Amino acid sequence: MAKGPLEVIGEALEEYWTNPLSLVVLFACLAVIGTLVYVFLSNARNAKLRVSLLTGLYSVSTFLWLFIAASLTLCLSFASTVAYKRAWGVPAAVGCAVLVSFALSGVVSVVAWRRGADRVLRDIPTRAPEGEERWLTDYVALVSEFEGIPPVDLRVTEDEKPLAMAVSGRRHVVIVSTGLLAHLDRDEAEGVVTHELMHIKNHDSRFKVFSTVASRFLFFDPFSKFFDPAVHREREYLADEMSGRTTGKPGSLASALLKIHERANGGPSSLAGLSIVGREGGIFSRFPPVKERISRLIVLSELLHRSP
């Protein structure tokens, strides 16, 4: 009696997932994820390390899901073919699944990195700084040179809301709104602009666009639901801290954050996740609580200004 299609697929899946090679790939991914989670949880205050760990977690979990999806697709497609039944069928399928996962991750990255930024920049009408705003261009050039950041274009957008964001595509752009410049004094504006420049230095401006596209693509992934916002929260703390150290005035950034938080009722939804302050929502929010950001900046300010 011939086997039914379900039986054939069941056998193929069993053969695939009991093969040492596929199990090695699967458990290697899980072991890496477990290790990264452990080191992450045991380094609560090390923002720089946690940022790298979370970025790694994000990549490994993306790869893991693509590998599982590719494996299942291959099993279903080739279950009834003769090649699968031969000794090299399963190893070949595992090899294919690994290659397909790498290739797909690559395609997602290229599309996100090339197109994402251009799209954001197209959505926001901007102009060059005029009149009294011109100091911003010189300031950005100065900080970029000191920090070794590639040339950054500073653009102004006409908007009453206090907005600031960094976007990286073929070029690096920092956008500030007229509302932001109107309500902040010069020290505060410097703190905010430096915070955005640090996002460019840390490659966050690219990563944000990339992960937004990737998490839409992997909407079912529990890791990206939890770890992706966590990565962004850590990156905010890091950019705050680096801005405070560079300007030497973390207190000014703290007061800027407070002013922006009081005036902004969330940015436009298409830009969610890119602005300096955004909606707070616990572990699923891309922004850390403003209160915590301010209190960390005040501690940094006390540290920097301690008299001997």
Closest distance to Zn ion from the beta carbon of 91 (Å): 46
Q: Dmax of the chain from CA atoms?
A: 90
Least Å distance, CB 287 to Zn ion, is: 8
Binding site for Zn ion (CB under 5 A): 236, 239, 276
Name the minimum Å distance from CB 271 to Zn ion: 12
Centre a 10 Å sphere on the Cβ of residue 9 and count the other Cβ atoms it contains. Answer: 16
Q: Which is nearer to Zn ion, 254 or 276 (CB)?
A: 276
Residue 76 CB-density burial (10 A; 0-12 exposed, 13-18 middle, 19+ buried): middle
Q: In this complex, which beta carbon is closest to Zn ion, that of residue 202 or of residue 301? A: 202
CB of 205 to Zn ion, least distance (A): 9
- For residue 16, the minimal CB distance to Zn ion (Å) is 44
Shortest Cβ 297–Zn ion spacing (Å): 13
User: CB within 8 A of 261, min separation 6: which ones?
Assistant: 277, 290
Minimum CB distance to Zn ion smaller for 80 or for 285: 285
CB of 243 to Zn ion, least distance (A): 9
57 or 276, CB closer to Zn ion? Answer: 276
Nearer to Zn ion, 223 or 287 (CB): 287
Q: Which is nearer to Zn ion, 232 or 249 (CB)?
A: 232
Shorter beta-carbon distance to Zn ion: residue 221 or 228? 228
